[in-house]
C-alpha cells in the first residue's frame, strides 16, 4: 500500500476565491483571462465542484503570482495499492 496526497476540492475552491479577491479580480475578469464564454467553470472551481485542469492551474498561478502548489490544498494522504 502506498500513500498519496489527496486534494481537498472544497478547500482548494475557497483558496481560489480568496486569491482572486486578494488579486482584486472579479469572476468576469478571470472569465476574460481564460477566454471562457461563460463563468461556469470558475464558479465550479470556487465551489469545489471541479478542479482546474493543469494548464488552467498554470495560468491561475501566473495571474495570482504564486506556485501551483500554493493554490491546491491537500487534506492528507490516501491509500492506493499498486500492482504489477
pLDDT tens across 26-79, in order? 999 999 999 999 999 999 999 999 999 999 999 999 999 999 999 999 987 655
Could you tell me which residue, 4 or 75, shows the higher pLDDT?
75
What confidence tier does 5 reach under pLDDT thresholds 50, 70, 90? confident
Burial 59-82 (b: 16+ CB within 10 A, else e): ebbebbeeeeeebbbeeeeeeeee
Closest Cα partner for 60 from 48, 43, 42, 76? 42
On the question of pLDDT at 3 being above 90, the answer is no
Q: What are the tens digits of pLDDT across the range 10-20? A: 999 999 999 99
Residue 53 confidence (pLDDT)? 98
Using CA atoms of 49, 53, 57, 59 in order, give the dihedral in degrees to the nearest 10.
-120
**Domain ranges, ordered by start, for the chain:** 2-80
CATH of 2-80, one of 1.10.260.40, 3.40.50.300, 1.10.150.240, 3.90.1150.10: 1.10.260.40
Amino acid at each position: 500500500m502506498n500513500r498519496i496526497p489527496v486534494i481537498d476540492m472544497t478547500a482548494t475552491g475557497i483558496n481560489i476565491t480568496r486569491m482572486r479577491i486578494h488579486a482584486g479580480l472579479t469572476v468576469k475578469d478571470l472569465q476574460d483571462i481564460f477566454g471562457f464564454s461563460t463563468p461556469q467553470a470558475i464558479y465550479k472551481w470556487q465551489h469545489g465542484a471541479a478542479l482546474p485542469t493543469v494548464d488552467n492551474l498554470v495560468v491561475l498561478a501566473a495571474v495570482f503570482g504564486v506556485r501551483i502548489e500554493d493554490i491546491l490544498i491537500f487534506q492528507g494522504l490516501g491509500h492506493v495499492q499498486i500492482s504489477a
